[in-house]
Every structure is written in C-alpha cells, then in structure tokens.
C-alpha cells in the first residue's frame, strides 16, 4: 500500500536521502525544508503521512503537528529526533502522532516499515469508515459512483443542482447507475433527512400505476379494501424518483403534469386535494425528444421534466474506471461470502477493458459476483464469462497503435509481476522510474499499480 508523503527536514542531504528511500519503495514524495512551507503544502494538497524532524527553523515539527489537528482529514505524523529531544517526541505520540525514530537513521528499513504500517492502517480505517458511511446511506462512495474521466463534469453538475428545487432528468442506458445518481442528488440536498421514494414506471402494470403514484381510497376499485397512500404522499418533504418515466401511459402523463404545475394531486377515487411537497427526479433510457415527435410522450411534460438534464455515459466510455469498480465489487462480494481475495490480475482487467459492456455497470456487478465465487486468491481470466473472453483484441490498428498496445501490455505485466513496485518494474523494463511514471499516467495504470 503506497502513499503520498510530505518530508519536512532542514538538512538538505538528509532530506534528499529520506526522499530517495521513500520513492524507491514506491511512495509519492514531496520534500520541504521548514514548517511554515510544510503547513502551506498541507493546506493546499492531500497527504497520507508527514515525516518530519522535530527541530526545524521557525515553526517546529511539533507546532506543525498541532496546527494540523483541527482538520478531520489531517495526515498522520512520524517524527525524527535527536536523542536529546525524545521527551518532545513522546509528548507528540500522546497527542496522536504515529511514532518517532532517532537520528542519525542507521536502518532505512526501520523507517520504511513504520511508514508502510502507518499508511496501511490509515487506509484500512478510511475504507472502513467510507464503507460504513455508504452502507448507512445505501450507496457506494461518491468517488465510485462518479469514477472515470467521463463522469468528472457530471459530478460537478450533480453538486450544482443538488441544493436547488429544480426538476432533474437523468438520461442513460439501462444499468448505468441512474438511481444511484438520483440518490446522490437527494443526499446532497436540503431534503436529505426526508424520504427518498423510488418507483420504476416500467415495472408496474398500467392499471395499477396511478394507484402506486397517488394512492387510493377504500372501495375505489375492486380489491381496494382500505385506503392507501401513494408514492407522492410517502415522499412528503423529500424526493420522488420516477425511473423509466418514458414508459408512463399518456393518461397518467397528464396527471403527472398537473402535480408538477400545481403541486397538488388526488388519490384514486378521492376528491380531496393533497399537497405534493416533493422534489422530482425522473430518469429514462429512451430518447424523449423522439418519443415526443412520435406523440408517445407529452411535449409540455418533457419540458417540465427536462429543466436540468444529466446524461450518463455507458460503461464502455468509462474504461478508466474499471480498476476501481472491480476492486469495489471484489471487496463487497468477498465480504458477503466470507472470502479474502487480493484483487484482480492484469490479464483479467485487460479482458474486461476490451469488452463492450452492453449491460453497463449492472452487468459488471453480475460478472464480478460470479468471478468472486469462482476465485481463490485472485480474480483471474478463468473466472470470467466466455462472452468476455471471446472479445478479440482490435486488429485494425496501425503500426504505431500496435506498438503502444504491446508497450502497455509489457508495462502492465511488469507492474503486476513486482506487486506494484515501480522501481523493480522500471529496472526490468530498462527505463528510469520517471519514464515509467510517465507511461503509467499515459496508459491509465496508476489505479492498477
């Protein structure tokens, strides 16, 4: 488990030494000479760990540590100190520092072991808290929902619209996570403590859909033995999510339009107007403009729903998110069935990246559940379905593209072989660590490495 580390040391030679041994172990390292500059960097960036001398010019290491504590996302600290300053280091540990080492540093492995143990412990704690928070909300972490470059701008739009009362229309293929996005909007909104009520319009028979939406009075139709609240009443003060709204019959579209315009509705068989205090989010996998042109969807309703459209990309356009998504599903299903899997190997992830994913994330979830059941230590190619393995590598590439594919494959194999250690991988490939780092970024392997 590698981390992002800030080294704070005023001795230039020793600072360079610390940076070198940490970088050679695979960590990303920034190094500064004083506490004031370190504090600025901590406020501007994100670090997992600070390795700091206690005695620094100006702001001491202990002062730096104490000034970062009010931040709930503050990094951990490991201190380096001379023998005469051990009491200060012990005091820092009592206040929450990880540990300290005395200078001069005779054994670099002692530092590496301490650093790796601290980062692994922090990662486990962060994963546990993230899992607990997401499970309590019924959602994966937000970073997972919006994983991939294609989702970056959409995530910003979600945050922009969440705090408003605007109607939102989420567009996208089946299985792209439209309900997850809707739930995220709700949880980011002022209505987050009120209900989120979802209804799939395509899953309810047409003759029952009106009752599901608006409720009914006793005796209003055969089988209505008692009055019943509909989704609009149940969502009072919160958010109602109408999935596959394009499947709604025209007659019901008229009644939905009235709810949006007048904010009132009536139960089936009732005459009393009920106020609709809800935030409306709708979703569809249909082209509603085409549905309007074909007179299968009301134009005025379309414009009422389409106040703030969000277009979700298919999984085939989010290939860079596959490492993160597969890791999440492997952990989730491993936990459910009591297995301990290390992850997924390079060949398997490469096969997943070549596949088109017609079923999107829902299909990926099913594939990974099956793979976890069939795997022992690691998800390998043999645990994947035949339709994924049959997907050939592209043949219509020019020479330059074929060379890139071969280079990418070699880099992936080297990284996998050496367990993510970039120094060893670079040595095997005969390139510098800087060149390898550039290639990892170019080919999108950083999440895998």
Shared domain check, 273 and 169: yes
DSSP helix/strand/coil, 391: coil
Most confident of 224-238, 302-316, 403-417: 302-316
Shared domain check, 242 and 366: no
Shared domain check, 327 and 424: no
Residue that has been written with the tokens 């499947």 in this structure = 247
Token pair, residue 382, equals: 């043999």
Q: Is 352 exposed, middle or buried (0-12, 13-18, 19+ CB in 10 A)?
A: buried
Compute the distance between CA of residue 48 and CA of residue 50 in angstroms, rounded to an integer. 7
More confident residue, 30 or 1: 30
Shared domain check, 107 and 32: yes
| CATH number, domain containing residue 209 | 3.40.50.300
Phi then psi for residue 138, to 5 deg, are 75, 20
pLDDT digits (tens, 9 = 90+) for 97-127: 889 888 888 888 999 999 988 887 766 655 4
Shared domain check, 91 and 27: yes
Q: Is 104 exposed, middle or buried (0-12, 13-18, 19+ CB in 10 A)?
A: exposed
Among the candidates 110, 134, 158, a domain finishes at: 134
Shared domain check, 198 and 57: no
Q: What is the dihedral of CA 97, 99, 23, 322, to 10 degrees?
A: -60
What is the count of structural domains for the chain?
A: 4
Domain that residue 78 falls in: 4-134
Compute the distance between CA of residue 370 and CA of residue 299 in angstroms, rounded to an integer. 43
% of the chain beyond a pLDDT of 90 = 49
| CATH number, domain containing residue 424 | 1.10.10.60
What local confidence, expressed as pLDDT, does residue 174 receive? 94
What local confidence, expressed as pLDDT, does residue 52 receive? 94
Shared domain check, 75 and 16: yes
Lowest-confidence segment of 107-111, 136-140, 345-349, 431-435 by average pLDDT = 136-140
Shared domain check, 245 and 110: no
Phi then psi for residue 364, to 5 deg, are -60, -40
Contacts of 253 (CB under 8 A, 6+ apart): 297, 298, 301
Shared domain check, 148 and 30: no
pLDDT digits (tens, 9 = 90+) for 7-52: 999 999 999 999 999 999 999 899 999 999 999 888 776 688 999 9
Among the candidates 281, 313, 345, a domain finishes at: 313
Shared domain check, 225 and 288: yes
Note whether 119 and 48 are within 8 A (CB): yes
């Amino acid at each position: 488990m590698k981390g992002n580390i800030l080294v704070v040391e005023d001795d230039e030679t020793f600072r360079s030494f610390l940076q070198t041994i940490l970088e050679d172990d695979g960590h990303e390292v920034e190094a500064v000479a004083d506490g004031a500059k370190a504090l600025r960097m901590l406020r501007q960036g994100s670090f997992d760990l600070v390795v700091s001398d206690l005695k620094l010019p100006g702001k001491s290491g202990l002062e730096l540590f104490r000034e970062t504590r009010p931040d709930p996302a503050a990094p951990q600290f490991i201190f380096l100190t001379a023998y005469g300053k051990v009491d200060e280091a012990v005091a820092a540990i009592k206040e929450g520092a990880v540990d300290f080492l005395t200078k001069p540093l005779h054994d670099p492995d002692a530092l590496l072991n301490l650093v790796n143990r601290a980062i692994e412990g922090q990662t486990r704690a962060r994963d546990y808290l993230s899992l607990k928070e997401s499970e309590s909300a019924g959602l994966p972490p937000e970073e997972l929902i919006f994983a991939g470059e294609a989702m970056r701008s959409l995530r910003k739009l979600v945050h922009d619209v969440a705090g408003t009362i605007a109607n939102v229309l989420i567009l996208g293929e089946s299985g792209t996570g439209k309900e997850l996005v809707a739930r995220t909007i709700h949880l980011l909104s002022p209505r987050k403590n009120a209900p989120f009520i979802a209804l799939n319009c395509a899953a309810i028979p047409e003759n029952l859909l009106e009752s599901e939406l608006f409720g009914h009075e006793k005796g209003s139709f055969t089988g209505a033995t008692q009055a019943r609240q509909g989704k609009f009443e149940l969502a009072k003060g919160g958010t109602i999510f109408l999935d596959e709204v394009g499947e709604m019959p025209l007659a019901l579209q008229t009644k939905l339009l009235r709810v949006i315009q007048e904010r009132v509705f009536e139960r089936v068989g009732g005459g009393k107007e009920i106020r609709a205090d809800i935030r409306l989010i709708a979703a569809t996998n249909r082209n509603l403009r085409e549905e309007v042109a074909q007179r299968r969807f009301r134009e005025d309703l379309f414009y009422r729903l389409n106040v703030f459209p969000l277009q979700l990309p298919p999984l085939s356009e989010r290939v860079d998110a596959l490492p993160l998504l597969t890791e999440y599903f492997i952990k989730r299903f491993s936990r459910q069935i009591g297995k301990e899997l290390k992850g997924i190997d390079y060949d398997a992830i490469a096969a997943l990246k070549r596949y088109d994913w017609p079923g999107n994330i829902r299909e990926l979830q099913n594939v990974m559940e099956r793979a976890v059941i069939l795997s022992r230590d690691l998800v390998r190619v043999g645990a994947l379905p035949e339709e994924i393995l049959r997907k050939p590598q592209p043949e219509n590439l020019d020479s330059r593209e074929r060379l890139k594919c071969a280079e990418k494959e070699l880099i992936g194999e080297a990284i996998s072989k050496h367990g993510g250690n970039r120094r060893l991988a670079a040595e095997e490939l005969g390139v510098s660590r800087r060149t390898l780092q550039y290639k990892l970024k170019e080919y999108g392997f950083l999440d895998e490495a």
